[in-house]
Every structure is written in structure tokens, then in C-alpha cells.
Chains A and B, each alone.
Chain A
Amino acid sequence: MIVVLVETDVTGAVEVSRETITFARGLSASGGGVPIDAVVIGDLPCDPTALAEQLAAYGVRDVHHASGDAFSAYGGAAWAAAVQSVRDTTGAVVVTAAGTPRGGEVLAHVAARTGVAMAANVIAFGGLAPFTVTRQVVGGSAWEEMVLDERPAIFTVAGHAVAAEEAPSAGAGHLVEFQPEVEAADLVARVTSTAEPEPDLSGSLKGARVVVGAGRGAGSADGFGELLDLVGMLDGASLGVSRVVTSLGWRPHHEQVGQTGSRVSPDLYLACGISGAIQHWAGMASSKTIVAINTDEEAPMVAKAHYAVIGDMHEILPAINEEIRKRKS
């Protein structure tokens, strides 16, 4: 048995969870067709029966839905207790989840409770005896092969390690409601409110159609004038910056794109003076069209972009802005 912790939104299972199930199917096949069950927890934002059907199309057998007062607010330990209960009743040999903050947190709790190792951000698996996985380390700049010999084998799957694909032959959706026992100690750390939101200024960036990105090449806090002018001339555009820019205090953190900043997937990402370090790339890799402006034609951003202009952004951006004004008038 493989147990997958699934995260949901109004559409059902979120994409990274569907990717994780697709990944689990590979594992299942190499183990001779081990069944895959899912766990979903708390008040779901979608219809549980429809979710069970959606997940069946991905090859999931039973969807275990943990409900009850213990899950009215999110708490890592309580969620782990629910996952652990499914593992115990099904005798699962693998417990996995998407490598999201929540997936990583809950599985780390399960690993600590069961006293076994956990691998975060797995992208592939190798041999089954011993069971080896490959995972991203150093922010994705290196890969680690790691042994997961204890049972259950616990790991999270990195985003986009595989594409989410429905199973060729799907069964019928089967929903199993259950109310796991949760100890008082597991309820001490849970969300007490979501009511004090500092304004999430990154909102417009995350949903932007165009992101004009700026890195160290901007030069200084005063070097953003032409960039902001360009943002104003492009449809649905926001400014996004690299971590160097926020750590130098040139721009606020909510504008940061990357592993520890916002993840964006605009139609166009224009990377100006950004080297394209893996941690930045992690936040904008799914942009549809990537254009790099960089003085260094060997910069990783240039190599990975669809289009590039080689040269100084402080000369190129004014020329682009001028050209747009000219065509508009």
C-alpha cells in the first residue's frame, strides 16, 4: 500500500498532489501494482465524493477523509496523527505527499513519530532493494541519491518532478470517512486565526500576466525607474525581483520571486540583470515565454531563456520604452 496525503482546493486535488499520485503510480508499477490510497483532512473546499472520483481517475483506490473537531483548524501534529492512522490500518509501506510547506511539515511529523528517515523533494526513484530515491538538495543545484530502507518509506515529491497524468485504466471512486483519535498534545500547535492579514502585497505579482524581473544588474535602489515605466506599459504587469535586490534593501521582500519568494507563471517573464540562479529559477520556471536581458551571454538565465538580448539593461530598457512610446503615438 502507498498512502498519499492530498491537498485540495475548490477544483479538487491541487496539481502538485496529482503529480505526486502520478509519481506514486510509477512506484506502484515497479512494486507489481501496489494499491494507492489517498488521505484528505478537515473541512474540504471541494465535494468529497467528486474528489474521490477525480482521484480514481488518477489510479487511487480509497480516499480516506479524516474529519471531526480536531481538524477544524490546521495543525501539523493532528494531520500527522490522521495520516499515521491510515498507515496503520492499511499497513502502508510508503507514505508520500507533495513537497509543499504543508506536505513537508505533516510528513516530517509522521517521520518523527515513527522514528524513520524522511527524504524531502524527491524527483526520481531508483532501485527498490535497497529503496533509493533521488532528491533535490542545495536549493535544486545538486541531486542526492538517498536510501530509504525503513518502513514506511517517507518522502515528499518536488513540484514538477513528473507531469500530472490520469491513469490509463481507472477504477471507481471510493470515499472512506473516518474520525481518527487525536491526542490533546497534538492540538497545541494549530492555526488560531487567519484574521490578522498583513496585506499580501505579492498578490498582484503571483497572478500577473507579465512579470518584469530585475536583479543585481539594476545597480541600486534608484535603478528601477525605467523598469517601472515598462511595467506601466505592459498589460497586467508587475515588478518581480531577485533575492539580491531584496537583501540589499533596494526593493521590499514581497516582490521577491524564487524558492523563498513568490512563485509566478506569467505569459511573459522579462529577466533584466538576473543571473538565473536555481533558487530564482524555481520561482519562475513555469513562465510561458522567458526573455533575458543580460550583459553576460553565458549567464544561466540567458542559456535557459527562450529569447535574449545581450547588453546593459540601463541602455536597453530606455530604448525599449522609447520604441513602445513611438509605436503607440
Chain B
Amino acid sequence: MNNVLVCIKRVVDSTGEVVITDDGQNVDGRYAGFTVSAHEEAAVELAVQISAATGGTGALFTLGDESAEEQLRGALAMGCTAATQVRADSSAYGPSDVAREIAAVVRDHEANGSSHDLILLGNDAADSGDFQVGIRLAYELGRPVVNGASTVTIKDGHAVAGVKGPEGHEIYRVPLPAVVTVLEGGVEPRYPSVPGRMKAKKVEIEVREPAGAPTGTKRVRLTLPPPQPSQVQILGTGPEAAAAVVDLFEKLGVLR
């Protein structure tokens, strides 16, 4: 039986145009909407698969303000059954602050008789891209950590994680309890079913105060990259441009 905790974060949907708030401190999500990172969606799917395969539980963690409930409910609808929210302004929390808050919840749950023997996180968040919360958490808890796994299964009390490394497909086998950060691509996150959504609405979310004050993110300001001058040459409009395109193929020598 494996009890998995999966950590997710509400982030601005940055697939469209990115707008920065007037104070230069955050990405403005008023128009873009919010989501969780693709890596975390994959982590939620893995948590649901692992807990189902072992008869354990898939629980969620997030640090964020009230609105982050939307992302928790979304992940509950995918099949997680419990959720803890540390209610705080996530933009004030740096990677080590977040790791400390997760560790505090894990220790507390453990003291109350419910342990999390596998903790999954996204490899990096789509907004801050810090690449380090999972590793810092592992050091906080004194657990081994595998980074950037796209597959995770459990075998004989070990997490077996597959990582696309520089030398090909690398396998790690670490004893539980462990921490694994997840990269998208190894599993297909499921689409929540209607009964899943109904169930998710009823789950009572454990809301907590932060365990400590944040030490900050060290951010001075955000800016947008300067636009690059365009040097595009328009070959034409519609099917009439086909000859010009094939001329170019010939010039580049790419026709078979």
C-alpha cells in the first residue's frame, strides 16, 4: 500500500501572451487564466496510478491563496482523494520556503499516523522555473530523490523511476520513502470523469497556516524579453505560393 503525496502549484496559463503586473513582480493572470504545470499533471496521473495499483491513497499538497482550490479540485477530479492547502501568497515563497512548508505538512501527517511514502513534484514549475523544490524537500526530509522521471512504478518497497538521461533511458531504484520529481511525457494525464468531478466537489480540503515566515524569492523584477526584429520574407499567399516554396526546397537541396 503506497500513500503518495503530489505537490501542485496554481500558475498563470502562459501558453498565450504573457503580461507582467504593473509593479513588475508577477505574471498577470487576469486574462490568461490559471492552470498547473504540465509536469505536475503527469505527477498527478502517476500518483493516481500508483495509489490505485497498491491500494493506497493519492493526496495533494499546494501552497497558495484561496483561488488555488480550483487546481486542487481539478486534481481531485483526476482521482486523488485528499488535499492539503497551506494558505499563503505563493509569490512570497522561494524554493526553500516551499520545501520547508511541504516538509512540515509531511512530518505533521506522519505524527498523526498518516505517512506519505512517496512524494511527487513537478520537475520545475511553469512560472518560476526554479528546478529545485523537490531536491530541497528531499534534503529537508532526509530522503533520496530522483529528478526528472517520466515513469514511476513501485516494486518491492522501492520506487523504480525512468529518466531520459544523456546516455539514454536511465533507471533508478530507490527505497521508500522517497521523493521523485516528474517530467511530462511518460504518462498521459487522464481527463476527469463526471463522477470524478462530483466526488472532487465533496472532498474536504485541509487548510493550514504556513509553518514559518517566507524568506523570499530574491526576485528584483520581471520584464518581458525585447522583441526581435523580424526578417521574414513572405513567399506568397495561399496555394499560389507552392512554386516559390518548392524553389526554396530546391535551393536548399532538400528534395529527395
Contact = CB atoms under 8 A, between A and B. Distances in A.
Interface in A199-230: 200, 209-210
Nearest to B132: A108
Contacts of B235: 291, 307-309
Nearest to A292: B232
A104 to B, nearest CB: 4
Nearest to A105: B147
A61 B12 CA distance: 44
Interface in B103-141: 123-124, 126-132, 135-136, 138-139
Contacts of B221: 144-145
B239 A136 contact: no
Nearest to A158: B129
Interface residues of A, number: 94
Of the listed residues A132, A193, A316, the one surrounded by the most CB atoms of chain B closer than 10 A to its CB is: A316
A191 B242 contact: no
A120 B124 contact: yes
Mostly, the A contact residues are mixed
A109 B242 contact: no
A315 to B, nearest CB: 5
Contact of B246 (A109, A119, A193, A327): A327
Contact of A145 (B188, B219, B231): B219
Contacts of B166: 7, 100, 102
A76 interface: yes
A192 interface: yes
A316 B242 contact: yes
Interface string A80-103: 000000000000000000001110
Interface string A110-122: 0111010111110
Interface of B: 12, 14-15, 18, 20, 27, 38-39, 94-96, 99, 123-124, 126-132, 135-136, 138-139, 142, 144-148, 162-175, 178, 183-185, 188, 217-225, 228, 230-246, 248-250, 252-256
Q: Please give me the 8 A-B residue pairs with the lowest Cβ-Cβ distance, nearest first.
A: A319-B239, A319-B242, A108-B132, A311-B238, A145-B220, A189-B144, A188-B144, A141-B18
